[in-house]
Amino acid sequence: MDTKYIFVTGGVVSSLGKGIISSSLARLLLSRGFKVTIQKFDPYINIDPGTLNPYEHGECYVTVDGHEADLDLGHYERFTNIRTSRANNITTGRIYQSVIDKERRGDYLGKTVQIIPHITDEIKRNVKLLGNTGKYDFVITEIGGTVGDIESLPFIESVRQLRWELGKKCICIHLTYVPYIRAAKELKTKPTQHSVKQLQSVGIQPDILILRTEKDIPAAMRRKVAQFCNVDPDSVIQSIDVPTIYEVPIKMHEQKLDEIILRKTDTPYSGEPDMAKWNQYLDKLRNAKETVKIGLVGKYVELQDAYKSINEALFQSATYEDHKLDLRYISSEKLTDANVDEALSPMDGIIVAPGFGQRGIEGKFVALKWCREHNVPTFGICLGMQCMVIEFARNVLGLADANSTEMDPKTAHNVIDLMEEQKSISNMGGTMRLGAYLCRLAEGSKVAQAYGTTQVEERHRHRFEFNNDYREAFEAHGMRCVGENPESHLVEVVEMPSKKWYIGTQYHPEYSSTVLNPHPLFVSFVKAAIDNKKK
Ligand code: GLN
């Protein structure tokens, strides 16, 4: 297959939404029947984001094959339904590690190992890895960071070289920012011109410019940008702020981004992309009148991106249930028995978030006790599920000191304990139980009803696990273990059948919820929250 490569770089400032643009473009090309994949190259030295604090780069996303990935891969999957993998996310750290390993093996035959050509060759090899499988018409590569950063230079240099090697099979999109100066009531294109100059100075002429803006950019101004930047006038596209990111593919198509790319890469095409289902979703989104209010109890409440996939999964499900989502972050660090009623009673449903470590943990127990006693739809995810188990052990089974050995290694009642396979591990990176595992669901359980099946595969990211020694006691007192790994017998799902909706999953269903396929457990939870609101 004649694979074409599309590179997406960013200029002026970070956080312009390269991931959303790449995802939107992928959506459009897929909807035209092309085979597409997207990958992200991150210029940091960490091998992967698995060891990063969420305050640094937001949520750590997990692929089916167990790679701890940048959260942009979540956008890729949500927009496209594509399943990404380890090969879709490369960091500077991975590139260097592989070059250094080769050097130690003697593969370079005594040569001096340098950034150019050895690092850039390794980058290029990785860029082409997915393309070389012959499975794709288009490989979209997003280069993290901003043009001009020291860190991204080797990546930009690799793009320059690839452009020469690939000729018309390669296209460069540069995303920049056009600020609106309120006092002068003017949009300013100077930062864009400078950013394109910077790209040109390292040998890359962008084919398409996408200008991120708060206000409509007049046609004359776009023509001016085209002229200054050596870009075709129809290839200067604006990306104006929209109410939701899911409108972006439509906005890009209105300006013919997909057609421009097909034309510039000499790719035969006809007709229009089939966006019928996508548009149905957007119609629901626009027409939703009522609101469902969900409280998310977690410790990263100031940071939107820390629970990105959960937010999006809730948002998608609410839309399919014809509701707007009102998502409130509730700081688990601040919750106490004295204020919990005030904080949680306005909510139609509660999610208790995943996480690591002691901070904010007691507030999660306070929240869960309240939820259980007030019979509010409650969804515990990963650490949230573990907290459900601990709270139940303390307050129903009467094991006052029950805990996870993550929080208290000496607890007498280790209802959550380190997994056997984790006991010998001391390295932090990529050593958790990661990726998709099979899970059998109990016939007739609420969770099996929600899925409409008793066999699912879901993604994991954890070291600790329900302690099966306590299983009988839990079951006897009303918390059932309704999901289990068929080989290891690890408990993956607990639920309280006596409650409206009280379910905890050791896995992360949020990672696999997409716009066109919202996750059945999130849909079921949101439905329960809506029913709860009506009552
Ligand atoms: N800290 C818990 C564990 O490692 C939960 C992890 C999570 O919530 N992702 O098992």
- Indicate if ligand 1 lies below 6 Å from the C-beta of 140: no
Atom number in ligand 1 closest to CA 464: 10
* Measured distance CA(178)–CA(94) in Å, rounded: 34
Nearest CA to ligand 1 atom 5: 383
Distance 300 CA to ligand 1 centre (A): 15
Distance 494 CA to ligand 1 centre (A): 16
Torsional class of 495: left (φ above 0), alpha (ψ -120 to 50), beta (otherwise): beta
Q: In what order do the strands lie in the sheet with 138-143?
A: 89-91, 36-42, 138-143, 4-10, 170-178, 208-213, 236-240
Identify the pLDDT of residue 158. Answer: 97
Atom number in ligand 1 closest to CA 381: 8
Distance 318 CA to ligand 1 centre (A): 26
Identify the pLDDT of residue 428. Answer: 77
Q: Are 368 and 352 in contact, with CB atoms under 8 Å apart?
A: yes
Identify the pLDDT of residue 264. Answer: 96
- Indicate if ligand 1 lies below 6 Å from the C-beta of 406: yes
* Measured distance CA(81)–CA(250) in Å, rounded: 17
- Indicate if ligand 1 lies below 6 Å from the C-beta of 299: no
Centroid of chain to Cα 104:
35
Distance 185 CA to ligand 1 centre (A): 49
Distance 312 CA to ligand 1 centre (A): 20
Distance 384 CA to ligand 1 centre (A): 9
Distance 381 CA to ligand 1 centre (A): 9
| Encoded tokens for 132 | 């070389």
Atom number in ligand 1 closest to CA 384: 8
Reported in sequence order, the residue ranges of 93-218 that DSSP labels E, i.e. its strands, are 138-143, 170-178, 180-181, 186-187, 208-213
Which residue from 300, 381, 417, 463 has its CB within 8 A of the most atoms of ligand 1, so it is best to mutate? Answer: 463
Judging by beta carbons within 10 Å of its beta carbon (0-12, 13-18, 19+), is residue 267 exposed, middle or buried?
Answer: middle
- Indicate if ligand 1 lies below 6 Å from the C-beta of 228: no
Which residue from 356, 408, 415, 466 has its CB within 8 A of the most atoms of ligand 1, so it is best to mutate? Answer: 356
* 95 sits in which H/E element: helix 92-105
Q: Are 128 and 166 in contact, with CB atoms under 8 Å apart?
A: no
- Indicate if ligand 1 lies below 6 Å from the C-beta of 419: no
DSSP track, 244-295: SGGGHHHHHHHTTHHHHHHHHTT----S----HHHHHHHHHHHH--EEEEEE
Atom number in ligand 1 closest to CA 416: 10
Contacts of residue 208, defined as CB under 8 A and 6 or more positions apart, other chains included, come to 171, 172, 173, 174, 231, 235, 236, 237, 257, 260, 261, 264
- Indicate if ligand 1 lies below 6 Å from the C-beta of 269: no
Please state whether the predicted TM-score (pTM) of the whole model is above 0.85.
yes
Encode the chain (535 residues) as per-residue pLDDT tens digits. 789 999 999 998 888 999 999 999 999 999 999 999 999 999 999 988 888 888 888 899 999 999 999 999 999 999 999 999 999 999 999 999 999 999 999 999 999 999 999 999 999 999 999 999 999 999 999 999 999 999 999 999 999 999 999 999 999 999 999 999 999 999 999 999 999 999 999 999 999 999 999 999 999 999 999 999 999 999 999 999 999 999 999 999 999 999 999 999 999 999 999 999 999 999 999 999 999 999 999 999 888 789 999 999 999 999 999 999 999 999 999 999 999 999 999 999 999 999 999 999 999 999 999 999 999 999 999 999 999 999 999 999 999 999 999 999 999 999 999 998 888 887 877 889 999 999 999 999 999 999 999 999 999 999 999 999 999 999 999 999 999 999 999 999 999 999 999 999 999 999 999 999 999 999 999 999 999 988 7
Atom number in ligand 1 closest to CA 382: 8
Judging by beta carbons within 10 Å of its beta carbon (0-12, 13-18, 19+), is residue 486 exposed, middle or buried?
Answer: exposed
Distance 464 CA to ligand 1 centre (A): 6
* Measured distance CA(302)–CA(300) in Å, rounded: 6
- Indicate if ligand 1 lies below 6 Å from the C-beta of 382: yes
- Indicate if ligand 1 lies below 6 Å from the C-beta of 405: no
Centroid of chain to Cα 118:
31
Name the residue among 383, 16, 292, 399 with its Cα closest to residue 176. Answer: 16
- Indicate if ligand 1 lies below 6 Å from the C-beta of 27: no
Atom number in ligand 1 closest to CA 432: 4
Atom number in ligand 1 closest to CA 465: 10
| Encoded tokens for 529 | 């929250």
| Encoded tokens for 113 | 């190992």
Judging by beta carbons within 10 Å of its beta carbon (0-12, 13-18, 19+), is residue 354 exposed, middle or buried?
Answer: buried
The residue written with tokens 């860029």 in the block is 127
- Indicate if ligand 1 lies below 6 Å from the C-beta of 416: no
- Indicate if ligand 1 lies below 6 Å from the C-beta of 124: no
Contacts of residue 477, defined as CB under 8 A and 6 or more positions apart, other chains included, come to 392, 396, 397
- Indicate if ligand 1 lies below 6 Å from the C-beta of 461: yes
Catalytic residues: 382, 508, 510
